[in-house]
Amino acid sequence: MKRIVLTGGGTAGHVTPNIALLPALTKEGFDIHYIGSYDGIERKLIEELGIPYYGISSGKLRRYFDPKNFSDPFKVIKGMFEANSLLKKLKPNVVFSKGGFVTVPVVLAAKRRGVPAIIHESDMTPGLANKICISSAKKVCANFPETVKYLPEGKAILTGTPIRQELFSGNKLAGLDFCGFTANKPVILVIGGSTGSVVVNEAVRKVLPTLLKQYQVIHLCGKDKADPEFNNLPGYIQFEYIKKELSDLLDAADIVISRAGANAICELLALRKPNILIPLSAASSRGDQILNAESFERQGFSYVLKEEALTPDSLLEAVHTVYNSRTTYIDAMSKSKLNNSIDTIMNIIKETAL
């Protein structure tokens, strides 16, 4: 039996693609283990699936000043020792890394121990953790065609992003029922990324009185970001994070307002959900979501509303435009060649495993 170590964490976007691969890996008979941080979201998401989980120390590698810049390098070094001894013990045939800072010690230790590592990059340009790991990896899977030019020749493969199969079996009525909604009014699903978004939350809450005249709103607002002031508002419901009911909520949604995290937008594309993307600004990130969103807009999959243009009026205008042109967006998405990539990635894993 071949053994695989999966790694990835920090935010759910660095974990859900690994979760999407689990059924195929199990079917192929892989013995699956997961290395993540001691206390990141990955621990909870993976442990509840019954996959053996090993925590290591993880520090963030920042490009800006933060007092933690003095302590985090020590955590990274500790993480390297821990990853090395875990790989020595587990002796995997292959490592698959979805990115996030916790993956750096794991991929570097894999290289040291002669274990082939595969990296997956779901954003248009590689994140810092993946950039550090690329030279230690055997193969790099990319989600966007544009990404391949940033990757070394011979390593890069355009695969797309693995999407959890259960998202395709949502039930609209179950979703409406879960929210206590009626089938008579269209539904807007708001997703502020896996951690929620204060900017998106505030923008949506400001226009709620107008929105609720015509729509019902399901709001995935992020951990500790629910606002009790809006509880019991007819036609509006907020959740901090949704797991198994997500497929039903997506099926119940006529349109989606979302951040432009790579996994979230690939899921919307695969499910053909007309969407408005509000990418995280370049001031508070490396600008990856802006590039993701612009690529989707160019291809006719999304309506993009940048943070600097986000006002109550522009948001309402975007909602009405996307709702009224939803068939145009669905047609464009139906022609997309960016498909669910599980089979392609499984072939790469099987070919690469020692």
Ligand X SMILES: CC(=O)N[C@H]1[C@@H](OP(=O)(O)OP(=O)(O)OC[C@H]2O[C@@H](n3ccc(=O)[nH]c3=O)[C@H](O)[C@@H]2O)O[C@H](CO)[C@@H](O)[C@@H]1O
Binding residue ranges: 11-13, 164, 194, 289
Contact region with ligand X (CB under 6 A), list: 13-21, 61-69, 209-217, 333-341: 13-21
Can residue 221 be called a binding residue for ligand X (CB under 6 A)? no
Can residue 179 be called a binding residue for ligand X (CB under 6 A)? no
**11, 97, 136, 302: residue in contact with ligand X (rule CB under 6 A):** 11
Amino acid at 281: S
Q: Which of residues 281-320 bind ligand X (CB under 6 A)?
A: 288-289
* DSSP state letter for 329: H
Torsion sign across C-alpha atoms 283, 135, 77, 118: positive
Count of residues interacting with ligand X (CB under 6 A): 24
Residues flagged as binding site for UDP-N-acetyl-alpha-D-glucosamine: 11-13, 164, 194, 289
**191, 253, 257, 353: residue in contact with ligand X (rule CB under 6 A):** 191
**128, 242, 332, 346: residue in contact with ligand X (rule CB under 6 A):** 242
Can residue 123 be called a binding residue for ligand X (CB under 6 A)? yes
Can residue 247 be called a binding residue for ligand X (CB under 6 A)? no
Name the residue among 132, 140, 143 with its Cα closest to residue 109.
Answer: 132
**56, 80, 140, 246: residue in contact with ligand X (rule CB under 6 A):** 246
Q: At what angle do helices 16-27 and 342-352 cross, to 10 degrees?
A: 70
- Judged by CB, which is closer to ligand X: 248, or 288? 288
- Judged by CB, which is closer to ligand X: 263, or 302? 263
Contact characters 43-62, ligand X, x per CB under 6 A: --------------------
Count of other CB atoms within 10 angstroms of residue 165: 14
Determine the Cα–Cα distance for residues 296 and 275; give it in Å rounded to an integer.
Answer: 10
Q: Where are the alpha helices (DSSP H) in 119-261?
A: 128-133, 172-179, 198-214, 246-252
Q: In what order do the strands lie in the sheet with 31-37?
A: 53-56, 31-37, 3-7, 94-97, 117-121, 139-142, 156-158
Determine the Cα–Cα distance for residues 224 and 59; give it in Å rounded to an integer.
Answer: 23
- CB 93 → ligand X: shortest distance, Å? 26
Tokens at residue 181, please?
A: 């909604």
**4, 9, 16, 21: residue in contact with ligand X (rule CB under 6 A):** 16
For 88, counting Cβ atoms within 10 Å of its Cβ (0-12 exposed, 13-18 middle, 19+ buried), the class is: exposed
Contact region with ligand X (CB under 6 A), list: 49-57, 73-81, 111-119, 193-201: 193-201
Determine the Cα–Cα distance for residues 251 and 271; give it in Å rounded to an integer.
Answer: 8
**46, 267, 276, 278: residue in contact with ligand X (rule CB under 6 A):** 267
Determine the Cα–Cα distance for residues 217 and 200; give it in Å rounded to an integer.
Answer: 13
Residue 120 β-bridge partners: 141
Tokens at residue 34, please?
A: 């997961």
- Using an 8 Å Cβ cutoff, are 102 and 9 in contact? yes
**4, 5, 6, 12: residue in contact with ligand X (rule CB under 6 A):** 12
Determine the Cα–Cα distance for residues 289 and 277; give it in Å rounded to an integer.
Answer: 9
Can residue 8 be called a binding residue for ligand X (CB under 6 A)? no
- Judged by CB, which is closer to ligand X: 86, or 157? 157
- CB 137 → ligand X: shortest distance, Å? 16
- CB 260 → ligand X: shortest distance, Å? 7
Can residue 248 be called a binding residue for ligand X (CB under 6 A)? no
- Judged by CB, which is closer to ligand X: 38, or 241? 241
Can residue 38 be called a binding residue for ligand X (CB under 6 A)? no
Q: At what angle do helices 312-324 and 198-214 cross, to 10 degrees?
A: 60
- Per DSSP, the residues of 14-39 read GTHHHHHHHHHHHHTT-EEEEEEESS
Can residue 241 be called a binding residue for ligand X (CB under 6 A)? yes
Summarize as ranges the residues that interact with ligand X (CB under 6 A).
11-14, 16, 122-123, 191, 193-195, 220, 241-242, 246, 259, 261-264, 267, 280, 288-289
